[in-house]
Amino acid sequence: MLRPVTPFASVLLEENPGSMTLEGTNTWLLQAPGATASVVVDPGYEDEPHLSRVAAAGEVELVLITHQHPDHAQGAPWLSTRVNAPVRAFDPTLCRDAPPLTDGETIEAAGLTLEVVHTPGHTPDSVCLRVTHDGESATLTGDTILGRGTTVLTDLGDYLSSLRVLAAEPPATLALPGHGPELPDLATTAREYLAHREARLNQVRAALSELGEDATPRQVVELVYADVDKSLWAPAEWSVQAQLDYLRRTR
């Protein structure tokens, strides 16, 4: 069911719940009141029932992808063909009939203004999208900031820089994430993420002191994430690897 969140943003939840996707992937439909077509952000997997519901919601002007993971991007070619709309992403290999997104670019579509903010760290190609219309604004955060919990990383240094950019957003900017519920204040959440990452880094530093500098990500996870469900240890290893890489680069 399409759920309105703001006068210009509605969400259609894909039925793909899981430990990494929370309730499922949020496919966002952006459209100013009175506009004849929408911008679809993150179509999700190549899940034809879900994509058919997206297509049935109305004319589509443009499909945007926040990052390369298949639970956000895989269904874009199918949807593009179905609704005859181009696909744009920061990664040029994901684009169809349109150029890649660029940092700081402004897009006018569906009666809205969208600004592209390159926010690497979760993936190298991750972007957020600032959306404004008639004095109101919101930011789509993909997996850079989730509606609940924290995200997996590929590069901690990049991610900390991205969080600092988002922490400077105006107060009470609504965050529209790729998974989980919307958040009322993006800057506050970004600052909370920064504090969490610093706390985790301190835990990893302490683990290395105990285990030795050559400890593997798995050894660190078993110590630092001992109170976390073991089903989440595999993705935790990815984040720990990013933390170890960061600490070894910056020490």
3 state DSSP class of 245? helix
3 state DSSP class of 48? helix
Q: CA 59, CA 188: separation in Å to the nearest integer?
A: 35
Alpha helices in the chain (DSSP H): 48-56, 70-73, 76-83, 156-167, 186-211, 217-224, 233-250
List b or e across 15-46, with b for residues whose CB sees 16 or more CB atoms inside 10 angstroms. Answer: ebeeebbbbbbbbbbbbbeebebbbbbbbbbe
134 is catalytic: no
* Amino acid letter for position 115: E
Please identify which residue in the block is written with the tokens 């991007």: 73
Q: From the candidates 42, 47, 71, 143, which is the catalytic residue?
A: 71
Q: CA 112, CA 100: separation in Å to the nearest integer?
A: 19
Q: CA 216, CA 107: separation in Å to the nearest integer?
A: 44
| Positions marked active-site | 71
